[in-house]
């Protein structure tokens, strides 16, 4: 970490939930540090708790034990409202199923995170135009999500995740609803923009091709975060 404060730090974090016949332990005394500007891929079998871990890091859920810091703030001590404000200001999300609001235009979907932070007017218009240009969708401001292809919708989702300049991007299977060719293009775009804007990225994926973009790969296995060797480079 070169002495710098990590963007994400887990210390002694344990979490689980009841299931038929017993208790499913998602994390067991987990420790993790992710540096500012680092890209980390989180892999593991379905049901291992990868999405739950993202929910813990974002403050949507609270761990049952341990401390979890984002940008030096122990989010386990925050109220629900304080965690909501932290997500709004410091975290961007990219989901598998886009989660664009269908009744809003592309520009309106992008303006929404800015409006929640009290940012509007010409500065917001410029931010929307600049971010759409960055994802190669200039001129799409007045389109509605249902008129876009899956790849175009996910590019809008990437733009929405970045437009309010968060410190941390959480991506949950961001290419899982796309065909391989389109998914690879979106993955390359996400990697390019995260590094261009100096963001920290944590992405959940089953795709070795997508994981290959990360600086580190961690496998969630039996409640532990285990370093995973990088997949071989594509031929």
CATH number for the domain harbouring residue 105: 3.40.50.300
Whole-structure pTM value: 0.89
Any domain includes 94 = yes
Tens digit of each residue's pLDDT, the chain (235 residues): 455 789 999 999 999 888 787 777 888 998 999 999 999 999 988 877 888 899 999 999 999 999 999 999 999 999 999 999 999 999 999 988 888 999 999 999 999 999 999 998 999 999 999 999 999 999 999 999 999 999 999 999 999 999 999 999 999 988 888 888 888 888 888 889 989 889 999 999 988 888 888 999 999 988 888 888 765 555 5
The pLDDT of residue 48 is: 78
Residue 181 lies in a domain: yes
| Alpha-carbon gap, residue 137 to 6, rounded angstroms | 33
C-alpha to C-alpha distance for 18 and 168, rounded to whole angstroms:
30
Please, which residues bridge with residue 39 across strands? 201
- Asked, for residue 153, whether it belongs to a domain, the answer is yes
Q: Domains in the chain: how many in total?
A: 1
Answer yes or no: is 65 within a domain. no
Domain that holds residue 200: 37-60+80-228
Nearest-angstrom CA–CA distance, 110 and 91: 15
Q: Does the residue 21 lie in any domain?
A: no
Residue 17 maps to a domain: no
The whole-number pLDDT of residue 180 equals 85
Q: Considering the domain boundaries, does residue 29 fall inside one?
A: no
Locate 190 and state its tokens: 């996400």
At residue 18, the pLDDT reads: 81
**pLDDT for the residue numbered 26:** 85
Residue 30 lies in a domain: no
Report the 10 Å Cβ neighbour count for 2.
4
């Amino acid at each position: 970490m070169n002495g710098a404060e990590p963007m994400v730090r887990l210390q002694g974090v344990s979490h689980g939930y009841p299931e038929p016949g017993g208790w499913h332990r998602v994390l067991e005394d987990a420790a993790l540090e992710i540096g500012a500007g680092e890209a980390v891929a989180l892999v593991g079998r379905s049901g291992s708790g990868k999405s739950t871990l993202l929910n813990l890091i974002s403050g949507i859920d609270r761990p049952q034990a341990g401390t979890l810091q984002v940008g030096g703030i122990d989010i386990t001590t925050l109220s629900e409202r304080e965690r909501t404000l932290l997500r709004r200001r410091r975290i961007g999300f990219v989901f598998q199923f886009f989660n664009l609001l269908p009744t809003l235009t592309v520009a309106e979907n992008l303006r929404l995170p800015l409006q929640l932070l009290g940012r509007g007017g010409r500065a917001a218009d410029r931010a929307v135009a600049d971010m759409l240009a960055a994802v190669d969708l200039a001129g799409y401001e007045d389109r509605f999500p249902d008129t876009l292809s899956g790849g175009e919708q996910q590019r809008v989702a990437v733009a929405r995740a970045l437009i309010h300049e968060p410190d941390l991007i959480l991506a949950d299977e961001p290419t899982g609803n796309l065909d391989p060719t389109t998914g690879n293009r979106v993955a390359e775009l996400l990697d390019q923009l995260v590094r261009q804007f100096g963001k920290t990225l944590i992405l959940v994926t089953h795709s070795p091709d997508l994981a290959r973009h990360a600086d580190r790969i961690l496998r969630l296995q039996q409640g532990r975060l285990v370093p995973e060797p990088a997949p071989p480079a594509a031929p």
